[in-house]
Chain A
């Protein structure tokens, strides 16, 4: 839980700025902490793939901006190179295909992409540092069906990769006759059938071990919980959008967030009241956990706080082109987030006997 709060804090901090120096700083902090404090479990290796995904997001963003260029301000442009301009029919006015690619446009696309990429890396870091299944344990009983679906998905996804490898190897035994479509089908059909079988068996196993015992819940309280949760979530989304968008809906954003939060909270409370469950050896919540959470909250608070005062430093202008400056206070705040790399307890490494030979 502490790691998730920490990552959310950093994500909030990242969403307030497009300053590439600050964003790169956040990424560096994530990288350091993950490298120092992740376990050897399979989910911990996921961070790498999140980084790849982030890079892909930046690349796509820049390429699209280059092709659909558009906003050329005549006085300050630095044209990098010019793509062949393709005239579009008049009903597509406003959309431009090809044309000059400007340094300004490319940079602003790069900054935007970087922000999105940093958010992705935050999620990746949380995933790598905390076992997603343990995080799911705090999921209230009201969300029974959702819980089953997520646990099944989390367990079956790695097995899917494994069985895909197995089937691909098995295909060699039958020879590789046929075209591309044929090959795809001969792998996909057995793999998907296998995955479906496994999911059903896992869900059956969870059920027969008592997952989601309804206790004394009535049909009505069940429905009430659902309605409360759903409207609460809608409110939360609206509120978050209103706050982050910043283009005028802020007056609506804050109340919506508040109402949504209260509704969702009530739903959770009602839902968890009807399910009785205990926790075996719960993760301890001590000083290191507090430090971790605080280290995430500090950058979020500082960056949200300074948004009002120094917009220029956080969102460096690209028109006219300015070299991004390094705002000192936010940078220090972000560095605070690196503290868990040494302060958090190192992950438990299982005592492992000598590995036996496996076929």
Chain B
């Protein structure tokens, strides 16, 4: 169905090709999962399937890509529209019309399908994806999961034999992601559609895959059976890591498979104390140097930010209704909840840059909203959902220099606070004088001054913006969905960064949908729903109890309270040491 024959793709200004000598086939009716580190060319591979690469993106493609007997060299994307349906990462960016029904019909109109057939297929697709009640809603009013399903439906109506999905669930909360994946698997099983899917959060999809296509760092590609491939891939979901650790063969790919094998391991771990989820906590302040570490330890336990009865309204819509929140120095808090439950609004209100109708926010006795923006960021730093909004210069070096200039103003606010509360001075870590460059080198070493911010990977760009924000030395750091687009290694280094920030005595709040990341990074979880805080407590208590939020390790090892594979690894290692 999909045939790549010695395909090499290179772009004019890149030193090495993105894809190198790629040869593989995907048979009809298979669900093939494309895995690989961020930025290795997964999107290029997917784009090559319907000819967007190179017809639309430029660059040169050597070799042959044959789709259902048609070669992309001679067929443009629009000529393949009846065979291949493509859904991108951001469904809203690909919508051409205004309402759900028109969007579903669009591709068929272009293919000149008779009106009565169109009408029938639109109705069928509405039912198939469970979006019948949305039929005349405007597209921009739908939730993320609904938009993604409409986007899939809009290509399905053309009855393509191949569906190409580029990270269909990366922006969705766990429940919405389930909806989309359920729809996709139904297509594979019931209609025999061939699906090629790229995804970062493998734990969600790996159990459905018939074949894994791994794109490696050097641009080469390996394919094979999922269980065999995942034994060695650079990226792996927790269930696979646990399998590798326990030496299970063949590797289990779903929680269900793993639970059938877990008994011996569980018995071995049963009577041992559960290691603390975060290593940083267990050994004290690992990241900071001696004096600063001691200071941070002294500061831990003190309230860094106090919020009372915070209300945020947009016109008639109440986004945050009366939230109370205390953040303690050296604590990492995860903020979870559905898309649109008020997480971002709360973060912006805490920083002072967003609207806040009533309520009280205090950082060291000052309300950040009462200060000019340049000074408020010295108290609370926020990294927004699209970090690149903050970047506007041509080179990393310029951004860093600009950040140092801006930081000068912001620090005045911090120093004023120190002078007012002399006893708290001891709690200030020695990092207030670090330049943005030093911060960036600690977060993500090896980013040259001359690089353009747009050319960085997601993770590097996040680190750059974080360094810019940290240069103002805020005591409270808020991160709005930082895990979007990060692969497992990227998330692991983000966990390291967050640990380090907490060890310096800062208090960190992270809003995210990623339960595995929360299990590894957070001390405390706050769950929001419809603007209210519905749960607030230590990570193990909140996360294990909830079916939607429980990480895979917890599901496999229940009733033992293990959250991450790292915990299991530590426990197994100490057991081996003793035995």
Contacts and interface: CB of A to CB of B under 8 A. Distances in A.
A210 B389 contact: no
A269 interface: no
A277 B93 contact: no
Given A352-B137, A359-B319, A278 B353 contact: no
Nearest to B531: A357
Given A171-B373, A359-B343, 7 more contacts: A170-B386, A177-B405, A204-B56, A205-B93, A207-B76, A210-B81, A351-B136
Contact of B373 (A155, A175, A205, A206): A175
Given A41-B98, A208-B77, A208-B81, A357 B341 contact: yes
B120 to A, nearest CB: 11
A189 B402 CA distance: 16
B454 interface: yes
Q: How large is the interface on B (under 10, 10 to 19, 20 to 34, 35 or more residues)?
A: 35 or more
Contacts of A203: 56
A173 B480 CA distance: 13
A231 interface: no
Nearest to B394: A189
A187 B391 CA distance: 9
A212 B78 contact: yes
A223 interface: no
A169 B341 contact: no
A170 B390 contact: yes
A252 to B, nearest CB: 41
A355 B340 CA distance: 12
A356 B143 contact: yes
Interface string B387-415: 01111100000000011011001100000
Nearest to A141: B110
B93 A177 contact: no
B88 to A, nearest CB: 6
A112 B128 CA distance: 59
B406 A277 contact: no
B526 interface: no
Contact of A190 (B373, B391, B472): B391
B340 A359 contact: yes
Interface of B: 50, 52, 56, 76-82, 84-86, 88, 90, 93-99, 101-102, 105-115, 118-119, 122, 133, 136-138, 143, 154-155, 158, 314, 317-319, 339-345, 348, 351, 353-354, 372-377, 381-382, 384, 386, 388-392, 402-403, 405-406, 409-410, 454, 468-469, 472, 530-531
B388 A190 contact: yes
8 contacts: A170-B384, A173-B373, A173-B384, A208-B78, A210-B158, A350-B99, A357-B342, A359-B319
B165 to A, nearest CB: 13
Chain A's interface: helix, strand, loop or mixed, by majority? loop
Contacts of A145: none
A286 interface: no
Nearest to A210: B81
Contacts of A317: none
Interface string A132-159: 0100010000000000000100010000
Q: How large is the interface on A (under 10, 10 to 19, 20 to 34, 35 or more residues)?
A: 35 or more
A207 B78 contact: yes
A174 B81 contact: no
A208 B340 CA distance: 30
Given A133-B97, A176-B373, A278-B112, A357 B319 contact: yes
A242 to B, nearest CB: 39
Nearest to B375: A175
A290 B115 CA distance: 24
Interface of A: 41, 131, 133, 137, 151, 155, 166-167, 169-177, 185-187, 189-190, 193, 198, 201-214, 276-282, 348, 350-353, 355-359
A203 B93 CA distance: 10
Contact of B392 (A185, A201, A212): A185
A281 B116 CA distance: 9
Contacts of A352: 137
A309 to B, nearest CB: 46
A114 B108 CA distance: 45
B138 A41 contact: yes
Contacts of B105: 280-281
Contacts of A212: 78, 110
Nearest to B340: A358
A281 B102 CA distance: 9
A151 B138 contact: no
A171 B354 CA distance: 11
B115 A155 contact: no
Contacts of A189: 392
B136 A279 contact: no
Contact of A210 (B93, B110, B381): B110
Contact of A201 (B90, B122, B318, B376): B90
Contact of A209 (B107, B342, B372): B107
A204 B390 CA distance: 27
- Identify the interface centre among A276, A277, A278, A282: most chain B CB within 10 Å of its CB: A278
A299 to B, nearest CB: 31
A280 B340 contact: no
Contact of A278 (B94, B109, B343): B109
Contact of A280 (B76, B115, B375, B391): B115
B468 A174 contact: yes
B303 to A, nearest CB: 23
A130 B84 CA distance: 33
A201 B106 contact: no
Contacts of B112: 276-278
Contacts of A171: 373, 389-390
Contacts of B79: 213-214
Contacts of B109: 137, 277-280
Given A133-B98, A166-B386, A358-B340, A213 B373 contact: no
Contacts of A282: 115
A137 B109 CA distance: 10
A353 B134 CA distance: 9
- Identify the interface centre among A41, A185, A351, A357: most chain B CB within 10 Å of its CB: A357
Nearest to B410: A175
A175 B119 CA distance: 54
B55 to A, nearest CB: 8
B92 to A, nearest CB: 9
Nearest to B314: A358
Contacts of A210: 78, 81-82, 107, 110-111, 158
Contacts of B56: 203-204, 207
A353 B403 CA distance: 46
Contact of B93 (A202, A214, A358): A202
B510 to A, nearest CB: 16
Nearest to B393: A189
B93 A211 contact: no
A198 B115 CA distance: 31
A71 B343 CA distance: 66
B118 A190 contact: no
A198 B344 contact: no
A183 to B, nearest CB: 10
A213 B107 CA distance: 11
Contacts of A356: 143, 340, 530
Contacts of A355: 317
A358 B111 contact: no
Contacts of B138: 41, 350
A202 B391 contact: no
B81 A209 contact: yes
A272 to B, nearest CB: 12
Contacts of B107: 209-210
Contacts of A206: 96
A186 B391 CA distance: 7
Contact of A357 (B81, B94, B340, B403): B340
B84 A208 contact: yes
A201 B386 CA distance: 17
Contact of A279 (B115, B314, B318, B339): B115
B110 A211 contact: yes
A131 B52 CA distance: 30
Lowest 10 A-B CB distances belong to which pairs? A210-B81, A175-B374, A205-B94, A280-B105, A210-B110, A276-B112, A170-B389, A189-B392, A172-B353, A172-B373
